[in-house]
Structure 1
Amino acid sequence: IDPNTWLMNKIPEFVLRDSPDAVVIVDIFGNLAEFQTDLPLLVDAAHSYSLKGLGKRGKCEVISFSFTKLITGMQGGCLLTDDYNVYTKAWELIHLSAKMLEIEAYYILKQIDTYEEQVIIRNKLINMYRQQIKIPFVEQRIPVENNFSVYAIMFEDKKIRDKVAQKFSDNGVEVKIYYQPLVDNLPNTTNVFDRILSLPLYSKLVENDIEYICNLINSI
Structure 2
Amino acid sequence: MARPTDTRDRIVAAASKLFYAEGIGRVSMDAVAEKTGVTKRTLYYHFQSKDDLIAAYLDARDQPNLAQMAAWFAEAQGGLGDKVAAVFAHLARVAAHPKWKGCGFLRTTAELASMPGHPAVRIGARHKNGFATWLAGEIRTAGLDDAETLAREILLLLDGAFSASLLHRDPAWFEAAGRAAAGLVELRRLRSAGEGGGHRG
- The structure in which a higher percent of residues are helix is 2
TM-score, length of structure 2 as denominator length: 0.30
The higher radius of gyration belongs to 2
TM-score, length of structure 1 as denominator length: 0.28
- The structure in which a higher percent of residues are strand is 1
